Amino acid sequence: MRILLADKLPEQTVQDLEDHGHECVSEPGLKADDLPGRIGGFDVLVVRSTKVPRPVFEAADRLALVVRAGAGTNTIDTDAAAERAVLVSNVPGRNAAAVAELTLGLLLAVDRRIPDNVADLREGRWDKTTYGKAEGLLGSTLGIVGLGSIGFLVAERAAAFGIRLQSVAREGRSAASLARAEELGITMCDSLEELAATSDIVSLHVPSNAGTKHLVDEAFLARMRRGAILLNTSRGDVVDEDALLAALDEGRVRAGLDVFEDEPGSGRAEWSSPLAQHPAVVATHHIGASTTQAQMAIARGVTEIVDAFTAGEARHCVNLDPDRLGSHAIKVRHLDRVGVLARVLDRLSNAGLNVQHMTNRVFRGGEAAVASIDVEGDVSAELLDSLARTPHVLGVAVVTMDDGAGTSP
């Protein structure tokens, strides 16, 4: 695979990928606007914060996979990628501990005004009178919005401080997630409104998408307790920044922020922001994931995704349709001969069946293989019979996706 790395990634990423037989070109200075002119000839693009907009997919000739070396994929036009059949994968969970650590760091920094303490001491001012006033965290209530990889690790760390934990009840939470929440003593509010009104600290860990844009808005901020702390290490646009600025100006809330809606995409830039400069805010430079530990873990994840892709697997892909798995899964065991699959697909096509997903794995020794074909439509006994009678086919089985019942003629 020819791989373009358009961001600063650990040396280890390049080393691992090259050790696995891939050709890597590392150009960390590339910007979103440069990418359309540079993407030609590459199969895989790896990025961190560099934006990947629609023109990149329009200009690409052989691009098949974009790997986001991190969690959030909001910087990549995943719809444009889907239209051109380009897979977009992220590396979930690997940087979660780093973000959770920063989140707790921001909380302590806001509660004790650590940055202001430090700044005054560096200027030669001793001021215990001002800084010797803080609420303290023991027994306070933390509302976690987004109980995923990071949210849970924040919960674990906050529990060690004796902080009470709550989140919002959400449909579709897995049994494992519910059990972990129970184990950590996280109670569930019935609504976001309830969480806002009953938390001393609110910490945001949701992905940025249409459903979470300005999730923290004027109404949410108005419900928050006076003096409450808002922590945002997710994405800038999850918060209505104008509304937050107003709440800060009125002294209603304090905040610890690692992310901003208009933050620079590059490592260094001239940039100022009334939020980041506000005295009631402790702000960092979107460094949640920027620990060596996290970046090494991400580097290993990138290699795993590229290797899986090379072997035909779309791992951690965020732009495949999860509902288009077909109504039936047909397994065809066959001798590994030229033309068998073409004849099988021909019979499916004649039966009016649309293939949704397909893999073909060859057995050790190379004599035989098994094709797994997910199709949408009615699978008749006649079709199964004709598939079974296809030259070099050894056996056919079908599983109906809805009820899991299998037949094996």
Ligand X SMILES: O=C(O)CCC(=O)C(=O)O
Ligand Y SMILES: NC(=O)C1=CN([C@@H]2O[C@H](COP(=O)(O)OP(=O)(O)OC[C@H]3O[C@@H](n4cnc5c(N)ncnc54)[C@H](O)[C@@H]3O)[C@@H](O)[C@H]2O)C=CC1
E strand or H helix at 167 = strand 164-168
- Considering only 145, 195, 340, 341, the residue that binds ligand Y (CB under 6 A) is 145
- Catalytic, out of 235, 316, 328, 334: 235
3-class secondary-structure state, position 182:
helix
- 155 is a site residue for ligand Y (CB under 6 A): no
Distances from the Cα of 111 to the Cαs of 87, 270, 354, in angstroms?
43, 29, 58
Closest approach of ligand Y to the CB of residue 37, in Å: 28
Cα(186)–Cα(208) distance, integer angstroms = 23
Cα(79)–Cα(69) distance, integer angstroms = 19
- 9 is a site residue for ligand X (CB under 6 A): no
Q: Among residue numbers 272 through 291, which ones bind ligand Y (CB under 6 A)?
A: 286, 288-289
C-beta nearest to ligand Y: residue: 148
- 71 is a site residue for ligand Y (CB under 6 A): yes
The 10 Å CB-count burial string (b at 16+, else e) for 40-70 is: eebbbbbbbbbbbeebbbeebeebbbbbbbb
The stretch near ligand X (CB under 6 A) out of 65-73, 110-118, 136-144, 172-180 is 65-73
Closest approach of ligand Y to the CB of residue 382, in Å: 44
Cα(380)–Cα(311) distance, integer angstroms = 32
Q: Hey, how many other C-beta atoms are within 10 angstroms of the C-beta on 242? A: 14
C-beta nearest to ligand X: residue: 70
The two structure tokens encoding residue 209:
């998408």
The two structure tokens encoding residue 170:
């959400």
3-class secondary-structure state, position 45:
strand
Q: Which is nearer to ligand Y, 17 or 206 (CB)?
A: 206
- 147 is a site residue for ligand Y (CB under 6 A): yes
For residue 328, indicate whether it is catalytic: no
Structural contact between residues 49 and 7, judged by C-beta atoms closer than 8 angstroms:
yes
Instruction: Mark 283-302 with x for binding to ligand X (rule: CB under 6 A) and - for no binding.
Output: ------xx------------
Q: Which is nearer to ligand X, 70 or 143 (CB)?
A: 70
For residue 361, indicate whether it is catalytic: no
- 48 is a site residue for ligand X (CB under 6 A): yes
- 316 is a site residue for ligand X (CB under 6 A): no
Cα(295)–Cα(88) distance, integer angstroms = 19
- 72 is a site residue for ligand X (CB under 6 A): yes
Closest approach of ligand Y to the CB of residue 172, in Å: 8
State the binding partner of 232 from ligand Y, ligand X, none, CB within 5 to 8 A by kind.
none
For residue 263, indicate whether it is catalytic: yes
The residues assigned a catalytic role are: 235, 263, 286
- Binding residues (CB under 6 A) for ligand X: these are 48-49, 70-72, 95, 289-290
